[in-house]
Amino acid sequence: MTRCISVLTALLLLTAAGPAAAFTADGCGAGSCASCHSLDPKEAGTILGGLVDKVNKVEMAEVPGMWLVEVEKGPNKLPVYIDFSKKYVLSGSVIRLADKGDVTQERFARMNKIDLKRIPLDDALLLGRKDAKLKVVVFTDPECPFCKKLHDELKVVVRRDPEIAFLIKLYPLKMHPNAYDKAKSIVCARSLELLELSFAGKPLPAAKCTTKAVDQTLTLAPELGIQSTPTLVLPNGLVMPGYKTADELIKRIREETGAARG
């Protein structure tokens, strides 16, 4: 999401003389907003001009009085909003007050799903059953406190729902100076036990092999738009950054895969 916000905030706010008409008394009334307000990708491209490279899709936004516009800027796919007056563009996080959900982040994630074939899994640690139907990739740092919290929840998930398993990729961040050596030690040993010892603040033995897997992950993750830990990639390619509870994980994994349990 860091990439999303940094690019979105680079987009300028379009302004014009006179107030926006999106919320005036002569709006949609009791009818459908689509009946009196319309915007297609071609017109959106004209409105946005040089601010974006391409407009892919336009639809009514969850936010009243606005369209959600899926655009491309350089290598990034981004959501922005245009109001019904067609005079203003909104970029950045839009927060849904009902559940504190980040509407922009949710759309950004859906626009930028990852092709799981791009993620090598030979070095991944398996948490759960090998024959589990639903496998989720987890990028984790052996010294990240939120990764430790998430790891505890992952263990609850696999106990409660054996059809879900997690493939853990070691992704040590520069902010944790010992994480790189620990990651190599864990990958060499293929050991969940060593990962959990690291989460507990215990020292680890030196790596007992020569491996390029950790360096490859350090190169690949930013290319996939993953810049923080923990980050999960669901079976459908949807990226979910940050800590989640076991209940949240089971619900979201099942919803996104369309796999009703039992």
Q: Is the predicted pLDDT of residue 86 greater than 70, yes or no?
A: yes
Residue 235 pLDDT level (bands cut at 50, 70, 90): very high
Alpha-carbon span 55 to 49, nearest angstrom:
10
Nearest to 119, CA basis, from 193, 226, 211, 209: 226
Give 74's pLDDT tier (boundaries 50, 70, 90): confident
* Domains in the chain: ranges and CATH: 2-16+29-111 (no CATH), 116-257 (3.40.30.10)
pLDDT (average), residues 45-63: 93
Task: Report percent pLDDT > 90 for the chain.
Answer: 73
Cα 247 from Cα 256, distance rounded (Å) = 14
pLDDT exceeds cutoff 50 at 135: yes
Residue pair 54/42 in contact by the 8 Å Cβ criterion: no
Query: Which pair of structure tokens corresponds to residue 250?
Result: 């089971």
Q: What are phi and psi of 259, to 5 degrees?
A: -105, 95
Sheet architecture: strand order including 54-60: 54-60, 66-73, 76-83, 89-90
What does DSSP say about strands 125-127 and 164-170: parallel, antiparallel, or unpaired? antiparallel
Provide the 3-class DSSP secondary structure of residue 156. Answer: helix
Q: For strands 164-170 and 134-140, give the pairing.
A: parallel
**CA–CA distance, 185 with 192 (Å, rounded to integer):** 11
Please tell me the distance from the alpha carbon of residue 247 to that of residue 262, in angstroms, as a whole number. 17
Tell whether the model's pLDDT for residue 157 goes beyond 90: yes
pLDDT per residue as tens digits for the range 236-247 = 999 999 999 999
| pLDDT of amino acid 76 | 82
Do residues 178 and 147 lie in contact, with contact meaning Cβ atoms separated by under 8 Å? Answer: no
Tens of pLDDT, residues 119-132: 999 999 999 999 99
Smallest CA-to-CA distance from 116 within 220, 230, 190 is with: 220
pLDDT confidence bin for 75, thresholds 50/70/90 = confident
Whats the size of the chain, residue-wise? 262
Please give the model's pTM, rounded to 2 decimal places.
0.76
Ranking 1-5, 192-196, 198-202 by mean pLDDT, the lowest is: 1-5
Whether residue 186 is predicted with pLDDT greater than 60 in this model: the reply is yes
Helix (H, G, I), strand (E, B) or coil at 38: coil
Name the amino acid, one letter, at 252: R
| CA angle, residues 129, 163, 117, in degrees to nearest 5 | 80
